[in-house]
Every structure is written in C-alpha cells, then in structure tokens.
Amino acid sequence: MTGALSVRDLTRSFTVRERGMLFSKAKRLHAVDGISFDVAPGEMLGIVGESGSGKSTTARLLLGHIPASSGEVRFDGQRVSARFDAHWRQMRRRMQMIYQDPLGALDPRLPVARQIEEPLVIHKPELTEENRRVRIGEVMGQVGLLSQHGERYPHQLSGGQRQRVIIARALALEPDLLVCDEPVSALDVSVQAQVLNVLEDVRARNGFTGVFISHDLKVVRQVAERVAVMYLGRIVEMGEVGEVFSHPAHPYTKALVSAVPVPRRPRNSRIILAGDPPSPLAIPPGCPFHTRCPEARSGCRVHRPELLGTGGRVAACHLVNNPSLAGSEAA
C-alpha cells in the first residue's frame, strides 16, 4: 500500500483588516501555525478542534487548494504545491476531498451520475464512455446508491444520499488520499451512522490514507486510528485515538473530552472552561491556551510549549513535559 502523508512545519497566515475599518492597520491572522504530522499509508488521522482552530485551513493546505506560507506537505514523497499546473493535476488525481455541505459541493444543474463521471473525464481521458459507465455503477454501488439515483438532480435526493454522491465522486478515481472535512456534521443521527458505515466499508475495501476533520469527538473515535487536537492553529496533543480520549494529557483535550455529552454520566463531572477562545488575530504569548487553562502556572504565560512525547503520543504542555518550566505559582 502506498500513500504516506507527511506534513512539516506547515504555516499559513492571512492578512486581514478590521471589519468596517477602511484605514485600520492590517493584521496577520495565523490560521495554521507550524504543524507537523505523519499519516502512515492506509491510516486515518482525525483532526479535532473548535472553530478558529485551523482544521479546515489544514485540509485546504493538504490538497494544495491554497499555498502555504511556509513548511511543506509531501504525499508519497512528492511535494504538494499550490501551483495549479500539470504536476498539481496529476497529484490531485490521487488526492480527493469530501466536503461538509453536500448541496454546496454539487452542481444543481447536472444529474448526479454526470457529476460522479466528471473526475473520470478529466483525469482518465483514456476511458471509453462504456468504461466510465461501469465505473460509475461500481462506486455508486459501493456507497449504497441505486442506479436510478444517478439520473436525479441533487435537489431530488436526501441529505444522506447527496453525501453518498460526494463520497462516490471522490472514490471514482480510486484516490490514495481522502481528506474529509466535517463530512457528517450536516446529517441527522440515523443518516450519519449510514454514511460513517459507508466510509468504513470503502476504506476496508480500497485501503486509502485518510484525514478526517470533525468537531465531534465520538465520530472521530469511530473512524480514525490516531487523532490530533488543534487549538489556535497548533497541534496541542496527538496520539492513538482511544488513548487520547480515555486518558487526555493536555488540559484542553481534557476539557474537550469532558464537554462531550455522555449518557449516564453525572453532569457535575464536567470541566467548564472560562471564556471564549482568543481571536486568532491575538494569540496569547507563551502557551496559547494559558488564558483559559484551569491548571495554568506562571511560566505558561512566558514559554511556548513544544509538542513532545514518546511512542507516538505527544502533547504541548509544560505540566506534562517539563513542570519546571511551568513555574510553581498559579497564573
């Protein structure tokens, strides 16, 4: 199996002006701030975090939709660039994306079978029309769509069926990398389970490498082997998904895990974080989480923690890695 994804010191910042202020000073928004991770061939990495954590920007960087400010993404040893040239198109043939909003990602004026066919027309011009028809039938079957669905337009399908169309379209080229950005967030619980099962089945059959972005920890645990937790553009903890969620090390992960509603758990066992996440325009110095961290010490305001650890389990927290740096007094 091929298709290792490797990300090194990936950074992306945007220049923004304050809303409504014509002459305000331009500011730098650090959406993704020096992240590194690897995804082994055939592995699925989950990325969780709240809005503004940079998870969707990461998805776009992985596929070269937008250029990185610095750092690099390599897939199968080859660098993913954001120059839309022949090399990029060749890479994109092996790298596909599944989006959150299926209606927005589909063309309302084309029957869905034509939309599943489109990547084949573009990337595999050598196929005859008959070959393509067979392939469309195959992928539609894999995601549980019936052949008569192919003639329908997106508005004639339910939300779950539309998401299956998106998955089928992404699978048509047999990608080696599939990036899923909140693929089930817009779906009802009963349909969400159908789509998650479809993803599990096609992965068992085709064995692609995957990155699965979601705000829902339960969904990530269901589909991913490893998970990276992001906060304000950085990875604060990463490791095997069951390990991270059952024994979170970073105080932010602890709070995220305890915020997940779980039946039969008393509500007072929850960690309630104070305040809102800071704006990505004004990331706090030192540990970016220290402003909301219930365990923060004086040193956390000054020293920026590195992502450290052993055995694939890493966390960016002084209290975990180097308590002496954290200082003794509470912040």
Partner 1 sequence: MTHDSPPPLFEISGLSVDFETRHHTARALHGIDLTVRRGEALGVVGESGCGKSITWMASLGLLGRNAHVRGSAKLAGEEMIGAREKALNAIRGGRIAMIFQDPSSSLNPLHKIGWQLTEALALHRNLHGREARIEAERLLDRVGIANAARRLGDYPHEFSGGMNQRVMIAMALAGNPELLVADEPTTALDATIQAQILDLLDDLRKERGMALVLISHDLSMVAEMTERVVVMYSGRVVEDAPTRQIFDLPAHPYTAGLVAALPDLDGPRRRLTAIPGTVPSPDRLPPGCAFAPRCSKAGDDCNASVPALRAVGAAHQAACIKLHVPAPARQSVEEMA
Q: Cα dihedral angle (143, 96, 226, 58), rounded to 10 degrees?
A: -140
Residue 325: enclosing H or E segment and its boundaries? helix 323-326
Q: Which is nearer to partner 1, 217 or 315 (CB)?
A: 217
Bridge partners of residue 210, in order along the sequence:
44, 178
The correct pick among 158, 282, 294, 323 for binding partner 1 (CB under 8 A) is 158
The correct pick among 45, 91, 170, 257 for binding partner 1 (CB under 8 A) is 257
The correct pick among 38, 50, 72, 101 for binding partner 1 (CB under 8 A) is 50
199 binds partner 1 (CB under 8 A): no
161 binds partner 1 (CB under 8 A): yes
DSSP per-residue string spanning 57-105: HHHHHHTTSS--SEEEEEETTEE-----SHHHHHHHTTEEEE-S-HHHH
Query: Computed over its alpha carbons, how large is the radius of gyration of the chain?
Result: 21
| Both structure tokens of 128 | 């005859």
- Shortest distance in whole angstroms from residue 242 CB to partner 1: 8
Question: What is the residue whose two structure tokens read 């002084």?
Answer: 318
* Cβ neighbours around 101 below 10 Å, total: 15
Q: Which is nearer to partner 1, 190 or 328 (CB)?
A: 190
CA of residue 97 relative to chain centroid, distance = 10
The correct pick among 123, 152, 221, 301 for binding partner 1 (CB under 8 A) is 221
Q: Using an 8 Å Cβ cutoff, are 194 and 202 in contact?
A: no
The correct pick among 1, 134, 259, 282 for binding partner 1 (CB under 8 A) is 259
The correct pick among 28, 79, 89, 218 for binding partner 1 (CB under 8 A) is 218
- Shortest distance in whole angstroms from residue 71 CB to partner 1: 26
Residue 252: enclosing H or E segment and its boundaries? helix 251-259
The correct pick among 264, 310, 324, 328 for binding partner 1 (CB under 8 A) is 264
The correct pick among 57, 194, 209, 253 for binding partner 1 (CB under 8 A) is 194
The 3-class secondary structure across 298-321, one letter per residue, is HHHHCCCCCCEEECCEEECCHHHH
Binding mask 269-308 for partner 1 (x = CB under 8 A): -xxxx--xx--------------x----------------
The correct pick among 86, 108, 189, 328 for binding partner 1 (CB under 8 A) is 189
- Shortest distance in whole angstroms from residue 23 CB to partner 1: 19
160 binds partner 1 (CB under 8 A): yes
24 binds partner 1 (CB under 8 A): no
Sheet of 5-16: strand order equals 27-39, 5-16, 70-75, 78-79
Bridge partners of residue 240, in order along the sequence:
226
Residues that bind partner 1 (CB under 8 A): 50-51, 158, 160-161, 188-194, 196-197, 200, 215, 217-219, 221-222, 242, 245-246, 255-265, 267, 270-273, 276-277, 292
